[in-house]
Structure 1
Amino acid sequence: MNSNTHFFFALTLPDETKEYIYEITEQIRTEFPFKKWLHKEDYHITLAFLGNAPDDLKKKSIQLVEEALSEEGSFPLTLFQIGTFGSKDFPKILWSGTAVQERLFEIQRNVYNACLEAGFSLDKKLFKPHITIARKYIGERPFSIEELQEKAGLASRGHSFTASAVTLYQTHIGSSPSYEAIFTTPLK
């Protein structure tokens, strides 16, 4: 297996949500330059990053995640902000977030714990649900999240959707889209 190939479990986003986020990026892309804008098919909320996963652990994690989510129902989420990670003036990541929803944290814990049980060593950082939309700000002037939020117009419009599936994705570095769905389990 290619050492640049990684796997991760993520909350699957509906096509209309991906389109909604993409429409926002089209409004802000020229004024707020980033080195890489993600393909709309790559939008997701990561629940557990597995890294370079051996087949046996991957199979076991699929089985355990499917069992952990077998009684879980779908639930509503609302996109409500755009934020950044990294330096305020030259951020590394531009993301869209959701309103706090405890069900999302429950699903993430179930997936995370199933992957630990399968034998993966996972990142212990606090779960911060987000949808990465761009990487590495390359503007000449310092970045302004306030200007971006005003331009994106999120305050005047919202977008709600139903979270109804969790997917295991495989990365394909250099491809666009970069993520391939390997396995999907629906939420009831």
Structure 2
Amino acid sequence: MAKTRTFIAVEAVDQVHASALGVIDRLRSATDNVKWVEPDNLHWTLHFLGDLGDVEMAEVCLRTVRTAAKHEGFTLEARGIGAFPTIERPRALWLGAGEGHEQLCDLQADIERAIESLGFRAERRQFVPHLTLGRVGQGSHGGSLLTERLEKLTDFDGGAMGVDSVTVYASELTREGPTYHVLARAPLG
């Protein structure tokens, strides 16, 4: 039986999407060893599920739709640019969350609880809402110019967006990078 690489996320839209693209443009010239996220793939990941069969995928979609309907829509502010594990040794570059952070964390936790009985365990690490902008290549930390630019953007104001749905995505890995396909949209109540 074929398996589908699957994750649950909130799509980046409106001003936040535009701001994320603007930051990528600002950082792009600082290093040539970053794989930047494609404009159509910018999102706030809530839970990465891995490879699922059709039955599991259908149940995840159903439970995500039911859970999302219990939450009211909200405004999410994008605030601050950072990196995991640190700005000095970046591996993943991200745009952080400001106002709306708590609502996104609550939504994520409820979805995690809803799918837990399907065998998806909660992350051991605390959920940190972020929108990935790019990943630094193996064997590199991007260099001092990238670190310098990241330090100047720690208070970056990325604007705000309305969160009115959650999306379950299939991710197909290709040589050019991942391609995402919507499996289900789950409107918030």
TM-score scaled by structure 1?
0.85
Q: What corresponds to 2:144 in structure 1?
A: 142
Matches within 5 A, 1:52-67: 52-67=51-66
Q: Which has the higher strand share?
A: 2
Q: Secondary structure at the match of 1:25?
A: helix
Structure 1's unaligned 5+ residue stretches are: none
Q: What corresponds to 1:119 in structure 2?
A: 119
Deviations 1:103-142 (A, max 9, x none): 1111001111112133334533211111111101546733
In 2, Cα distance between equivalents of 1:179 and 1:17: 19
Q: What corresponds to 1:184 in structure 2?
A: 185
In 2, Cα distance between equivalents of 1:117 and 1:125: 19
Q: Output the amino acid matched with 1:123.
A: E
Identity of aligned residues (%): 24
Residues 1:177 and 1:22: Cα distance change in structure 2 (over 3 Å): farther
In 2, Cα distance between equivalents of 1:154 and 1:68: 33
**C-alpha RMSD over aligned residues:** 2.5
Structure 2's unaligned 5+ residue stretches are: none
Q: How many residues align?
A: 185
In 2, Cα distance between equivalents of 1:50 and 1:164: 22
Give the C-alpha shift of residue 173 in structure 1. 1.1
Residues 1:89 and 1:163: Cα distance change in structure 2 (over 3 Å): same
TM-score scaled by structure 2?
0.84
Q: What corresponds to 2:9 in structure 1?
A: 10
In 2, Cα distance between equivalents of 1:90 and 1:68: 37
Residues 1:60 and 1:24: Cα distance change in structure 2 (over 3 Å): same
